[in-house]
Structures are given as structure tokens and as C-alpha cells.
């Protein structure tokens, strides 16, 4: 019997490529991987799958209805997992239009194609089909110091163009379930970290700058709080939601691990001191730079629904995950160099070069 397929959009990005790799590791499903290969999507993320006959990569846009229709018709996927999104808050501040185009218009185009495809399935196939939309905790806005964590019933209060575009996409996904009956699932996750994360994000940026002896730019006072989740734990959760989640439901996925940005940087400095004693103390490289506009103060996720309904909870402790992440970047300098080409450096200079004359380019939240 032919192996069933899943269509994964954005599967050459950070979380998407880790998810594709986890799916193919079990080899129960073939993966059709559709990715536009923007700044965050790289074929270097998929080199270990180059000879895997169960992984088929397609360079393309979820906003291209002709291409999406053709892929659905050819591969007849049993499920679709939508990671495809512009996903960096800082980039959304500099250029919101791309976020609207991909995250809102693109998601809607994908939904239209998927609805047509789902309606063409026979009853048994249609009953088992799922569309999983991967979103973010940023749609809920910012929490106060004593506020309870976000739940699936928290009000949407997006504060950045990125968060607003993802909130719009979430609402469209819900509407296609409520109006047309499309069997959708939505997940809202906390900050991920781990292998293959783009070097302009907080943890890999600080690792790279620390190795190089460059300044470690921290926004504002560095007391912004995020809930951190190791990427493989997230991938495991997504698999459970896809296979056992209830159609039409939203599931929040969090690491139960609140840390300030400054805590993260200081812990990385401690690990860098151990790995590179000659460069110690790396805390001397920390430089506070002007904060970004509308910077949310705190995120936190209540993942009780995931635990109670699906039996999931994160398995990788933050200390173990952070140490493993630093080792991975140290062992993959070729990957870092390949995805940190000139365009990456130019963007860092454009976004951060004028924030503080004492600070090197680069900061993330």
C-alpha cells in the first residue's frame, strides 16, 4: 500500500524543518515540503533529507493557488501542516506588507485550495483529514507581572504587525471551520529554541556573537519575559495534536519556562565561559540598546489542555536544551556561514546599527 502523505508548508524553516525531520524519522508518512525559501527558509536545513525518497521538496508560495491545487491533486495528502509565515517581529516593524501578504493573504489562499480539495475527498478520507495551522502566543498580546498565563480562551490583543497578521490568519482558519466545516486545528506556541534556528534570533545570535567576541545587544533593560520551549518538544506536541486533537479546537503549547531575555543572555555567557575560557567573562560583552517599538513585556502559556486531553508535557529541561543548542551551533559552523550570508549582515546593520553607537548590530526578542 502506498505511504500516505502530509503536505507541510514552510518546512524549510526552523520549526518546520525540525518537524519534517521528526516525521520522516518514523517514516509513517511521506512529506511534501512546500517552502518559498525566504530569509528564514534554507535548503541547508534539509541536507540530511536529500536522499530520502519519502521527502519531496517544492520551492513555492502558499499564495500560488495553481501550484497548491496541483500539489493537492498529485499527492493527495491526508493532512496539511501550515508553518509558512513571515515570523520575525523586528522585520515586521521595518516592512509589514510582506507579513500581510504571506500570513493573511497567503493563508487565505491556502485555505481556499484546501477547502476545494477536502470537498473532493470521499467520506472516509474527508473524515480523517486535518488542517493544522501553527501559530504563536504573540496573538494574545502582553501580560502584566502577576497576570495568569495565556489560555486558549484568552482575548486576542496583538501589538506588532507580525502578531496582528498571525491573529488574522488564526481567525480565518477558525472561520473556515465554523462556516464551511473544514476540519482544522490551531496551535499557539511559546518561544522555540534549538537546532536550525535562524542566526538573527535571540539565542543563536548571542551564541554567534559570543563566539566571535562581538557585543551582545540586549533590548532595553532586558527584563522582557518569554516562555521557552525546545523545538523537538514542540514537534512532538504538534504530532499529537494532528493525530489526536479535536477538529475545530485550539491548543496552546508552552514550555512552562519563563525567563527574561537578560537571564537567557547571562546563562549563555556562563556556557560560553565553559566552552571558551579564553574569552571569559562573556558577560563583559553585554550591551543594552534602545528597545524596539511596542515590545511586549511578558508572555506565558498555560498548556493544561495539552496535558489533560493529549497527555503531553515538555520533556527537555531548559538547561539541557540550551546546552544542547550551543553545542549544535558550535558543531555546525558551515551551516551558520551558509545562512548568514551578506543579506543577513546587511539586515542586522539596517535594523540595529543606529540604535546605539556603542552596540554592534544585532538583537532579538
Q: The sheet that has 250-253: what strands, in order across it?
A: 55-59, 30-35, 5-9, 79-82, 130-136, 184-189, 250-253
Question: DSSP readout, 144-181?
Answer: -TTPPPB-TTPPP---SHHHHHHHHHHHHHHHHHHHH-
By annotation, the residues acting in catalysis are 137-138, 162
Q: Which residues contact 265 (CB under 8 A, 6 or more apart)?
A: 202, 206, 216, 218, 222, 286
Short-list 153, 154, 152, 157, CA closest to 142: 157
CA distance 197 to 286: 21
In the 8-state DSSP scheme, what is residue 279?
G
Three-class DSSP category at 195: coil
Contact by Cβ (8 Å): 162, 99: yes
Short-list 150, 173, 301, CA closest to 237: 301
Describe the crossing of helices 107-120 and 161-180 by its angle, rounded to 10 degrees. 20
User: Which cell is 313 given?
Assistant: 508535557
CA distance 188 to 129: 20
In the 8-state DSSP scheme, what is residue 276?
-
CA distance 285 to 354: 18
Amino acid at each position: 500500500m502506498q505511504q500516505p502523505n502530509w503536505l507541510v508548508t514552510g518546512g524549510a524553516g526552523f520549526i518546520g524543518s525540525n518537524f519534517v525531520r521528526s516525521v520522516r524519522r518514523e517514516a509513517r508518512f511521506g512529506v511534501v515540503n512546500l517552502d518559498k525559501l525566504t530569509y528564514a527558509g534554507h535548503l541547508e536545513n534539509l541536507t540530511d533529507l536529500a536522499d530520502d525518497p519519502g521527502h519531496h521538496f517544492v520551492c513555492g508560495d502558499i499564495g500560488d493557488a495553481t501550484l497548491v491545487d496541483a500539489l493537492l491533486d498529485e499527492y493527495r495528502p491526508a493532512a496539511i501542516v501550515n508553518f509558512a509565515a513571515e515570523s520575525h517581529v523586528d522585520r515586521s516593524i521595518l516592512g509589514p506588507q510582506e507579513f500581510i501578504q504571506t500570513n493573511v493573504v497567503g493563508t487565505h489562499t491556502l485555505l481556499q485550495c484546501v477547502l476545494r480539495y477536502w470537498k473532493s475527498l470521499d467520506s472516509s478520507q474527508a473524515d480523517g483529514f486535518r488542517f493544522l495551522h501553527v501559530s504563536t502566543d504573540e496573538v494574545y498580546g502582553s501580560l502584566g507581572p502577576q497576570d495568569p498565563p495565556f489560555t486558549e480562551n484568552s482575548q486576542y490583543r496583538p501589538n506588532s504587525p507580525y502578531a496582528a497578521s498571525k491573529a488574522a490568519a488564526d481567525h480565518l482558519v477558525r472561520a473556515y471551520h465554523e462556516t464551511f466545516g473544514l476540519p482544522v486545528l490551531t496551535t499557539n506556541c511559546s518561544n522555540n529554541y534549538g537546532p536550525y534556528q535562524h542566526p538573527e534570533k535571540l539565542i543563536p545570535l548571542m551564541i554567534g556573537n559570543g563566539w566571535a567576541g562581538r557585543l551582545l545587544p540586549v533590548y532595553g533593560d532586558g527584563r522582557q519575559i518569554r516562555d521557552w520551549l525546545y523545538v523537538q518538544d514542540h514537534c512532538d506536541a504538534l504530532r499529537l495534536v494532528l493525530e489526536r486533537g479535536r477538529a475545530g479546537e485550539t491548543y496552546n503549547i508552552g514550555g512552562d519556562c519563563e525567563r527574561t531575555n537578560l537571564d537567557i543572555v547571562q546563562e549563555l555567557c556562563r556556557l560560553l565561559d565553559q566552552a571558551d575560557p579564553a574569552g571569559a567573562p562573556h558577560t563583559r560583552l553585554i550591551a543594552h540598546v534602545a528597545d524596539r517599538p511596542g515590545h511586549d513585556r511578558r508572555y506565558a502559556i498555560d498548556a493544561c489542555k495539552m496535558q489533560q486531553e493529549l497527555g503531553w508535557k515538555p520533556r527537555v529541561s531548559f538547561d539541557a536544551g540550551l546546552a544542547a543548542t550551543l553545542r549544535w551551533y558550535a558543531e555546525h559552523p558551515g551551516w551558520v556561514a551558509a545562512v548568514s550570508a551578506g543579506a543577513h549582515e546587511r539586515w542586522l546593520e539596517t535594523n540595529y546599527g543606529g540604535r546605539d553607537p556603542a552596540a554592534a548590530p544585532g538583537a532579538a526578542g
